């Protein structure tokens, strides 16, 4: 059983991670400095395993499914960033989706038969979030692991006004598998840095949590996905606390 103290600790961790992410964007001069090197985020294919059936729980905490007491297995990661246009202006109410394999390299998609018997049923596998007035988003998930034939990655989709405008993947910066990943290597070398993400220890975490910041920059005229439709269904939800 998880007692109220444990639940309160989890609540505090999520709030503190959000505060850390917010502080990056309120430091005078820091945001302007970052924009000097901002480039449009490279688009990539969706891949075959976007969930064919969305989970009942589609919030931004992928470690806890509904009110389950058992969390998913993996290196806990607080993933945050901003969605911006090419001029650096934040994009409010952008619909951000992520999906990835669990710690045993199994996708939520029922067509993924690789290692299916070891699927972590406690991992949500998919989450979504609406950006705030500063374009910020936040997910609590796990550090991605390698999938057969692929380096570790997280799929990301951005939609606006009911249309998918960018599909991409984020990768662990300096991971040795990156050089052998054909999908990543097809990204133009000048744009490759836009999909690489640092995973760093979360300060003061006693359980080895990580933090990752991944800003997403859309072009002047955002490109719609091939079918032109937003894939996620329904209104995004997110957890601020647990009862």
Contact between 72 and 142 under an 8 Å Cβ cutoff? The reply is yes
Domains of the chain with bracketed CATH: 4-217 (2.60.130.10)
**pLDDT computed for residue 230 by the predictor:** 54
| Number of neighbouring beta carbons within 10 Å of residue 117 | 7
**pLDDT computed for residue 55 by the predictor:** 87
Contacts of 214 (CB under 8 A, 6+ apart): 79, 80, 81, 156, 170, 197
**pLDDT computed for residue 96 by the predictor:** 98
Residue 150, classed as helix, strand or coil, is: strand
**pLDDT computed for residue 38 by the predictor:** 67
pTM over the 0.85 mark: no
Could you tell me whether strands 153-160 and 163-172 are parallel, antiparallel, or unpaired per DSSP bridges?
A: antiparallel
Per-position pLDDT tens, the chain of length 243? 333 333 333 434 444 444 444 443 434 444 444 444 469 999 999 999 999 988 889 999 999 999 888 999 999 999 999 999 999 999 999 999 999 999 999 999 999 999 999 999 999 999 999 999 999 999 999 999 999 999 999 999 999 999 999 999 999 999 999 999 999 999 999 999 999 999 999 999 999 999 999 999 998 655 545 555 555 544 444 443 332
């Amino acid at each position: 059983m998880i007692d109220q103290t444990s639940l309160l600790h989890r609540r505090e961790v999520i709030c503190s991670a959000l505060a850390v992410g917010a502080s990056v964007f309120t430091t005078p001069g820091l945001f302007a400095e970052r924009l000097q090197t901002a480039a449009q985020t490279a688009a990539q294919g969706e891949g075959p395993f976007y969930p064919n059936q969305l989970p009942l729980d589609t919030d931004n905490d992928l470690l806890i499914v509904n009110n389950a007491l058992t969390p998913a297995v993996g290196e806990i990661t607080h993933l945050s960033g901003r969605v911006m246009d090419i001029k650096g202006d934040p994009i409010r109410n952008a619909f951000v989706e992520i999906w990835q394999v669990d710690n045993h390299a199994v996708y939520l998609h029922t067509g993924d038969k690789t290692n299916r018997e070891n699927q972590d049923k406690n991992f949500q596998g998919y989450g979504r979030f609406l950006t705030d007035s500063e374009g910020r988003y936040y997910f609590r998930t796990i550090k991605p692991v390698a999938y057969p034939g692929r380096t570790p990655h997280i799929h990301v989709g951005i939609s606006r006004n009911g249309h998918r405008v960018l599909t991409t993947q984020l990768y662990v910066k300096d991971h040795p598998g990156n050089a052998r990943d054909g999908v990543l290597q097809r990204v133009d070398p000048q744009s490759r840095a836009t999909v690489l993400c640092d995973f760093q220890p979360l300060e003061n975490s006693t359980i080895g949590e990580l933090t990752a910041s991944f800003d997403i920059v859309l072009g002047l005229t955002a490109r719609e996905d091939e079918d032109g439709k937003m894939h996620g269904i329904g209104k995004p939800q997110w957890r601020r606390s647990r009862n």
